[in-house]
């Protein structure tokens, strides 16, 4: 990072209220010896992230959270959410909502596609807030430690899908289901409503993406995201470990079936959100 | 046999004149479970800093010459009933390449294993390997387990290729050899005379590093290296084990805590910059060899060593700038 943890903490202390600072002070954190965890997360940068995202969450996107009580207090958990909007703002809103809504407070560890850790500045900044590169080994380590993972099973095809396909889930990858079965993790489905309309893209270019080190580069129709209202819907935890034995995590049919179960739950939450919301900005 | 081994063991240590080897010999001499130590050094025996005594024999051996090693193993080592061979010798300079270096790094391991397999008293061989054998890239786990892919890149420098080959030379004999073979893949020891690229990197008052990246690094001390080797000596097992150090921190924090000034620099300038530095200062640091470790995080996962060997890193680096932590700067 271009600045040390003390600077991050100083910035955070200027903008975060006491309750939020206390909350961040209580997050479960495994210090690897120098204030950072093995994956590079640092509580001061979590506070910094909360201070930066807080105004966006409260004022700009006016986010409303529904059902956060479904997130387990502890233990290995996977938040499986839909992905949209050309910029990962949905991930950021979900990250801060989890931090604010859980008691005891938990930091969601976003599992990012391989290209993200390789992006200069962005990769490091996200890692300080808890992001982890999307390899099976990383996810396994975190689940073994009882952490809360944030996974977007649609991956890149979800975030860059055209506006005409808004709120149509792309095929879920099965990695999250396999991890959940193998590590007896609960899966909390999350339906995110609002992100699809924040920044419609004119086109998505793989060629331009290659130039900047991302798989696809969306060309947005507007320079800044619109102030849409975000709705985050958490569903009841899906206990894949109750339906399947850990050794079934290697069965392709089983993991596909489990992933389809999660996808259906996310879709139900999205449809609920669309039905309940009062317009894109309301 | 195991109980007997626990009681008292004879140990032969190669690379005894290097800092790790020397500390290991001292530690064995302080260990009442070690009956006798043969310190094999590349330098004249009388230059060894510890005087030989009834528990220590110092012998000069050129590890590149198999006959010399043979004569030690089937001479004094057999007479003293040596049961364990600890191979810590590695060619340190990353700049040196060629057949002689390969013979020292790889052929000596092959030769040692062959000799030990037909030795009447040697039962175990411990090989000190390095974290440099692992591949680090963006789509691989940050936490490196023992099953992590190795760096088999064709364009890898000999320094890396030799370490991978020596490591695999030992690994392929596990289970088929009558010996118990243990390979310890050590994190970088942040100390002089250990072949540590990170130590060489931090010797410059100004450390140029890739801008925009701040990977997590794990650093080991000589004390923990010796501790891990001691644990492995007394554990009744074989296999491959990662040996992490007690310090896991971002690269820029390591630079600050070492009292250096870090300057973020575009990645494509760092290769030429460090080549220039090497030309003028004679530094051993090769950026190309470390590039991926300086961009993507790679931290050894020591859970297996903890569970099986009982090794827990507990001796952190004595940071020169310890009084002014990264958080203060």
Residue with tokens 């200069």: A120
Residue A132 touches partner B, C-beta closer than 8 Å = yes
**Do the beta carbons of residue A199 and residue A87 sit within 8 Å?**
yes
Cβ of B249 within 8 Å of Cβ of A32? The answer is yes
Task: State the nearest Cα–Cα gap between B253 and chain A, in angstroms.
Answer: 8
Looking at residue B154, its pLDDT comes to 87
Closest C-alpha to B113, from B126, B131, B104, B102: B126
CA–CA distances in Å: residue A263 to residues A163, A186, A267, A270: 20, 15, 6, 11
pLDDT at residue A2 greater than cutoff 80: no
Q: Tell me: the pLDDT tens digits for A215-264?
A: 999 999 999 999 999 999 999 999 998 999 999 999 999 999 999 999 99
Give B244's contacts in chain A (Cβ within 8 Å): none
pLDDT mean for each 10 residues of chain B (329 residues):
60 96 97 96 95 95 96 97 96 91 96 97 97 94 95 92 97 95 96 92 94 96 97 93 97 95 95 91 89 94 96 95 44
Closest C-alpha to A234, from A126, A35, A93: A93
The backbone torsions φ and ψ at residue B143, rounded to the nearest 5 degrees and listed phi first, read -85, 115
DSSP bridge partners of A77 = A148, A186
Looking at residue B326, its pLDDT comes to 40
**Integer Cα distance of A155 and A170 in angstroms:** 9
Sheet (strand B34-41) strand order: B56-60, B34-41, B9-14, B84-87, B124-130, B180-186, B239-243
Looking at residue B297, its pLDDT comes to 92
Question: Where are the domains positioned within chain A?
Answer: 65-276
Nearest CA in chain A to B211: A120
CA–CA distances in Å: residue B64 to residues B55, B103, B111: 26, 6, 9
Mean pLDDT of chain A: 94
Q: What is the DSSP letter of B286?
A: -
Residue A158 touches partner B, C-beta closer than 8 Å = no
For chains A and B, what is the number of CB pairs under 8 angstroms?
95
Residues B150/B151/B152/B154 CA torsion (nearest 10 deg): 180
The verdict on residue B284 lying in a domain is no
Residues sharing a CB contact under 8 Å with residue B230, sequence separation 6 or more, in sequence order: B24, B27, B28, B31
Partner residue facing A4 (CB), from B142, B316, B326: B326
Residue of B140, B214, B295 to mutate when probing chain A, most A C-beta within 10 A: B214
Looking at residue B5, its pLDDT comes to 44
Tell me which residue range forms the domain holding B166: 2-190+219-245+299-317
Task: State the nearest Cα–Cα gap between B220 and chain A, in angstroms.
Answer: 13
What total number of domains does chain B contain? 1
**Do the beta carbons of residue A115 and residue A121 sit within 8 Å?**
no
ω before A104 within 30° of 0 (cis)?
yes
pTM: 0.91
CATH code of residue B129: 3.40.50.720
**Residue B10: CB atoms within 10 Å:** 23
Cβ of A124 within 8 Å of Cβ of B213? The answer is yes
Q: Class for domain A65-276, per CATH?
A: alpha beta
Q: Tell me: the pLDDT tens digits for A193-218?
A: 999 999 998 888 999 998 888 899 99
């Amino acid at each position: 990072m271009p600045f040390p943890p003390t600077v991050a903490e100083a910035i955070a202390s200027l903008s975060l209220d006491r309750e939020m600072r206390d909350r961040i002070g209580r997050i479960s954190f495994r210090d690897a010896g120098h204030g950072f965890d093995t994956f590079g997360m640092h509580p001061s940068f979590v506070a910094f992230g909360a201070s930066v995202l807080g105004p966006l969450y409260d004022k700009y996107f006016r986010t409303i959270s529904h059902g956060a009580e479904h997130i387990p207090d502890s233990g290995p958990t996977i938040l499986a959410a839909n992905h949209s909007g050309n910029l990962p703002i949905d991930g950021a809103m979900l990250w801060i909502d989890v931090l604010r809504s859980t008691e005891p407070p938990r930091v969601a560890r976003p599992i990012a596609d391989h290209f993200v850790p390789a992006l200069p500045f962005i990769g490091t900044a996200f890692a300080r807030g808890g992001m982890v590169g999307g390899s099976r080994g990383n996810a396994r380590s975190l689940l073994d430690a009882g952490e809360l993972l944030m996974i977007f099973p649609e991956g890149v095809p979800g975030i860059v899908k055209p506006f005409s396909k808004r709120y149509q889930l792309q095929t879920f990858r099965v990695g999250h289901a396999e991890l959940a079965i193998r590590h007896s993790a609960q899966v909390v489905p999350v339906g995110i409503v609002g992100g699809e309309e924040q920044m419609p893209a004119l086109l998505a270019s793989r060629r331009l993406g290659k130039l900047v080190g991302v798989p696809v580069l969306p060309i947005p129709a507007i320079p800044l995201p619109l102030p849409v209202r975000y709705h985050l819907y958490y569903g009841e935890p899906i206990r894949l470990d109750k339906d399947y034995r850990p050794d079934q995590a290697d069965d392709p049919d089983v993991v596909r079936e489990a992933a389809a179960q999660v996808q259906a739950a996310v879709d139900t939450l999205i449809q609920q959100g669309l039905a309940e919301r009062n317009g894109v900005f309301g | 046999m195991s109980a007997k081994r626990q009681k008292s063991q004879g140990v032969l240590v190669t690379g005894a004149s290097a800092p790790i080897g020397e500390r290991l010999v001292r530690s064995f001499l302080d260990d009442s479970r070690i009956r006798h130590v043969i310190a094999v050094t590349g330098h004249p025996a009388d230059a060894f800093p510890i005087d030989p005594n009834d528990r220590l024999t110092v012998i000069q051996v050129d590890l590149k010459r198999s006959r010399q090693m043979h004569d030690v193993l089937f001479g004094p080592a057999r007479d003293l009933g040596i049961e364990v061979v600890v191979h810590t010798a590695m060619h340190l300079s990353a700049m040196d390449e060629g057949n002689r270096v390969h013979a020292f790094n790889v052929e000596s391991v092959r030769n040692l294993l062959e000799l030990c397999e037909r030795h009447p008293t040697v039962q175990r061989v411990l090989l000190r390997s390095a974290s440099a054998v692992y591949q680090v890239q963006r789509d691989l786990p940050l936490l490196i387990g023992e099953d992590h892919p190795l760096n088999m890149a064709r364009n890898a420098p000999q320094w890396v290729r030799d370490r991978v080959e020596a490591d695999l030379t030992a690994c392929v004999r596990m289970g088929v050899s009558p010996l118990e073979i243990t390979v310890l893949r050590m994190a970088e020891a942040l100390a002089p005379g250990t072949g540590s690229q990170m130590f060489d990197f931090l010797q410059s008052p100004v450390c140029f590093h890739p801008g925009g990246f701040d990977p997590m690094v794990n650093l080991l001390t000589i004390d923990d290296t010796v501790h891990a080797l001691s644990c492995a000596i007394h554990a009744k097992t074989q296999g491959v084990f990662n040996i992490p150090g007690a310090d896991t921190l971002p690269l820029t924090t390591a630079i600050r805590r070492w009292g250096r000034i870090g300057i973020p620099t575009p990645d494509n300038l760092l290769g030429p910059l460090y080549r220039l530095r090497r030309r003028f200062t004679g530094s051993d640091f090769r950026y190309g060899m470390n590039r991926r470790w300086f961009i993507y995080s790679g931290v050894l996962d020591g859970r297996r060593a903890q569970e099986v060997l009982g090794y827990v890193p507990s001796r952190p680096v004595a940071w020169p700038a310890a009084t002014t932590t990264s958080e203060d700067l």
